[in-house]
Chain A
Amino acid sequence: MECERGMGSAVGQEPKVLMTIVSWVKEVAKVPVIVKLTPNITDITRPARAAQEGGGDAISLINTIQSLIGVDIDNFVTYPVVDGKSSNGGYCGPAVKPIAMNMLKNCAQLPDLKIPISGIGGIENWRDAVEFILLGATSVQVCTAVMHYGFGIIREMVSGLERYMDDKGFENLDQMRGRALPNVMHWEDLNLKYKVVANINEDKCIGCQLCYTACEDGAHQAISLSDDPLNRKPTIIEENCVGCNLCSLVCPVESCIEMQRRDDGKEHLTWKDRTLAGNIPVTFNDPLAGGLHHWVPEPAEALTKQTPLHYKL
């Protein structure tokens, strides 16, 4: 209802209007003014800059994301239900943290944005808070975790942050703020020569074969099974492995599958380097293009492949 009256995210989505309202507030405000940004916008840096131009002393982000949380499939209405009807709402909680961190990074990396940032979005424990601070947050704000677990979670958050800072030798928050920002780059600035491959620790492997199925169907067919039906432990086919991480992500055992470095660390070449040198591939016969040094099975092999042992026949 309020949006139609010119408040809320209708304002937050229009940087010029936002700037005007911030300047109205700054005409009279004596205490610092934080401008809370809506994430329901293509480029969060535009309202961030507008907040600064309007005289805002800080920004906070993110507010909630427009969402439908689910559908009651028996009564054909979305949640939460109000007398048989519903409406879109605002999404928050642990699931939005990656979106919030990306928007925080986008603002914190702006060279011309000089005002501090209060980070919001899915923060539930000290580690989440550390991540936000390393990405440039000066303070962090919490809601959903308190609605779930109560105010008591603060004890662990404070002591965990203190312990982390002591371990890392940070005496105060200024020393740790934004420390991850220089390492978040554009894709074109990443080292094309860096090469990792998966390694399965046989002592830790429980033989679930989740990695085999994931690699076989979802990645690069770089894991094989033993011909011995009593040996359920898969093996990495290193020459096929592109180092994508998928097997290590699906593996349910901590540190069982680890990515090991194979390049010698001496070479550094980025896509931008190649572009500037006029050296981007023009044929697929390029060592870095998909057609070379990357084996794929013949299509018909799909019909002869052995059935994984855990598939129901």
Chain B
Amino acid sequence: MANLQTNLAGIKSPNPFWLASAPPTNSGYQIMKAFDAGWGGAVWKTLGVPVVNISSRYGALNYRDNRMVGFNNIELITDRPLADNLREIEEVKKRFPDHAVIASLMVETREQWHQIVKDAENAGADGLELNFGCPHGM
């Protein structure tokens, strides 16, 4: 059987399939469930400064009989407290040490970047992903 072991710049995962930083990676609950199902890694929904999300958030492009061939969202980065996310990163890493947990980050100043990098690393993140897309989907 083929070996699916993946190593991206030192970030190791049992297979190349990672969840992208997005609504499915909003919580430790979701990521533990995904790892249990067989996903190899997950990029946590972007951590940053406090934001407020609105309602509604998603739109879909349906084409004839097919729903959601295209998808559109105006949801921002995580609206959960940073401390909660960090605690859950730690919990997930403890339970799934061989799976890749990557923290997606988006802040503004040099000092903020330095602080959040240290926070994510202290929580046990295997890697960092810098989000240079607009928070509401650009």
Contact = CB atoms under 8 A, between A and B. Distances in A.
A82 interface: yes
A166 B134 CA distance: 40
A25 B104 CA distance: 12
Given A8-B135, A95-B61, A34 B9 contact: yes
Contacts of B129: 33-36, 60
A215 B138 CA distance: 39
A63 interface: yes
A276 interface: no
Contact of A37 (B1, B58, B132): B132
Interface string B101-124: 010111110100110011001000
Given A58-B8, A82-B55, 16 more contacts: A21-B113, A32-B128, A36-B130, A47-B132, A64-B138, A90-B138, A94-B69, A120-B20, A139-B18, A141-B21, A141-B43, A143-B24, A151-B34, A151-B37, A165-B4, A171-B3
A31 interface: yes
B83 interface: no
Nearest to A30: B121
Contacts of A144: 68, 71
Contact of A57 (B10, B40, B61, B138): B10
Q: Dominant SS at the B interface? A: mixed
A31 B76 contact: no
A136 to B, nearest CB: 12
B135 A28 contact: no
Q: Dominant SS at the A interface? A: mixed
Contacts of A9: 132-134, 138
Contacts of B138: 3, 8-9, 38, 40, 63-64, 66, 88, 90
Contacts of A24: 110, 113-114
A1 B135 contact: yes
A34 B127 contact: yes
Given A63-B132, A172-B5, A7 B16 contact: no
Interface of B: 1-11, 13, 15-24, 30, 33-34, 37-41, 43, 48, 51, 54-61, 67-74, 76-77, 102, 104-108, 110, 113-114, 117-118, 121, 125-138
Interface residues of A, number: 88
Given A79-B72, A139-B13, A158-B17, A165 B2 contact: yes
Contact of B104 (A31, A36, A47, A146): A36
Which residue, of B9, B48, B104, B118, has the highest number of chain A Cβ atoms within 10 A?
Answer: B9
Contacts of B110: 24
Given A21-B130, A93-B61, A93-B70, A158 B4 contact: yes
